[in-house]
Amino acid sequence: MRLARVTRRGRSGHVSARRQRGVTAIVAALCLGVMLTALGAIDVGNLYFVRREMQRTADLAASAGAQTISNGNGCAAATASAQNNAVKGNGLTNSTASVAVVCGRWDPTANAGQSYFSTSGAPLNAVQVTVSETVPYFFVGPARVVQAVATAEATNIRSFSLTPTVASLSGGLLNGLLNGLLGGSNLNLSVASYQGLATTQIKLGDLATALGVGSMSQLLGAQVSLAKLVSAMTTAAGQSATLGVTAITDLGTIQAAIPPGLNVALGSTGSTNGLLAVALNDPQAAASATVNLLDTLLVAAEVAQQGQSAIDLGTALNLAPLASVTAKVKIIEPPVIAVGEAGQNADGTWRTSAHSADVRLYLNINLVNLNLGLVTVNALNLPVYIEVGPGTATLQSTQCTASKATSQSVIGAQPGLAYVCVGGDVASDFANTTTAPTCSQPAVITSASLSVPLLLNLSLIDISVGNTATNQGLQFQVQPPAPTPLTFNGIWGDSDDYQSSNSNAVGAESSYLLTQISNNLLSSLSLTVAGANPGSVLAAVLQPLLTAVNTLLSPVLISLDALLVPLLQLLGVQIGVSTVHDLGLACGQAQLVY
């Protein structure tokens, strides 16, 4: 029994030892697993740390490249800038690291459902950077190649209008125009006041803030009263670095003169005429674009007046005592201020374009009580109808450099077609908005009486413009020239801010419209005596009368040109001439897109 107990104790000790050795093995295995896990975690952590630093390097390099892609050296400069930023700026010196740079275009509208970045398309506006590096594992596994990809785009934004032009700020034209646009208000601002408005730039972002909208998309989708818009312009002008001395006071005067009921759509779409035509993939980028107060005010007033009753501009065209002029205008399509990026879309249309107004103008030039010796002219009325098609300016290219003086934009300008009629049916043409105008009635411009003292006082002669035999008035068209490229630098406020395309072959810029009527007037005048065509002998005798009428009308028409041409410019239209007003170049700050 004693031996049995000893034997059991020995067996028990052996079992206990084996159990201890088993526990130790398990603990050792667990410790080894923990150690391997910890070492693996260090390797994985290092991998993610390197990956994060590589992404940071790729982001900064892509942004640096995008900032320089639009300069004169294009992709070469962008590639060098991105690589230098990665290597020198971010210390990417590992011998196994590499930086690959691809230039292209980022455009969400061009590749629907695919990558927005493409190596095709123009202009180049984006850089894609791929940073690669071989990262070794310290403890577990072989080395592996890690990549980080970043794409950044930068948009150069130009804002411009196709007239109005500060060169037209003369006399009472602007007061007359604004009084007509504002429904007969009584503005009487000085030229200096309008100059101050023309030289005050405001940012669209400041205008959006003043209107209480949170984004540029909301701004472009808004419709506000003209009075509220002018109030917001006043607030935004307070943030301007180019604020005119009396601009705030002058805007207050204009705001007080605005009648109720005039509303303005701020964004222009395919179905709505608005103040701004913004052609950007990301409208928010337009927040840094600038416009001046005068262009904004005039275009907004014309947008508000579209579809309203005819605007009376008679007070603006004052030729007293030479003549009195009745002038009414209808705005069919108002002008627009363009903000956007250069180049063409995939379908060949220009991304950013400004259109001048499509207007109809009715004039009746009246001279009365003219004594020509034996002949007394009881009334001389010349009815004129002018229909001006919209001109167009397109943003063809931009280039930003380190210097504003060497930065530039090229804008193509093309005037619209003009149709002019002197005829008896011009009043119906002015009222007609559905069919093409006609000029199918000669205009009787005067009925003259032959007066011989104590013997004779008879109304015998009618003088008409046009061809009474074919029943046609005097009509002609001014054909638009081909687009002319105009180059602007990046400095706002210098001598190149207003540039004109003048390829009009029929006359100079200051006398191309009514002067043409004057040039054609004598050959278009015809006589009827007592309701019938005179014989050749009588016609020869009365020819000096036609010459006298032409002599009287010609200086009136030429003088009216000097008023009408700048007034049309302020409305946003010119005939044979297009003046582009540069409103500023905002060289884009690069932003990561993915």
pLDDT of residue 165: 62
CA 504 to mean position of chain CA atoms: 24
Q: Is 584 helix (H, G, I), strand (E, B) or coil?
A: strand
pLDDT of residue 72: 67
The pTM of the full predicted model, rounded to 2 decimals, is 0.77
pLDDT of residue 509: 40
pLDDT of residue 18: 58
Question: What does the block give as tokens for 184?
Answer: 């007969």
pLDDT of residue 460: 65
pLDDT of residue 311: 86
Which whole-number Å values give the CA distances from 434 to 332, 428, 438, 447, in the listed order? 11, 12, 12, 33
Q: Is 261 helix (H, G, I), strand (E, B) or coil?
A: coil
3-class SS letters over 346-413: CCCCECCEEECCEEEEEEEEEEEEEEECCEEEEEEEEEEEEEECCCEEEEEEEECCCCCCCCEEEEEE
Q: What average pLDDT values come out for the chain (594 residues) when binned by 10 residues?
A: 52 57 66 58 65 86 85 82 81 74 82 70 86 71 79 88 68 84 85 91 95 93 96 95 92 94 90 89 86 93 84 82 86 90 85 88 80 65 87 89 86 85 90 83 79 62 82 81 85 84 48 71 79 67 77 82 81 78 81 77
Q: What kind and span of H or E run contains 559?
A: helix 536-571
pLDDT of residue 252: 95
HSE, side-chain direction, 13 A CA sphere, residue 380: 24
Q: What is the DSSP letter of 283?
A: G
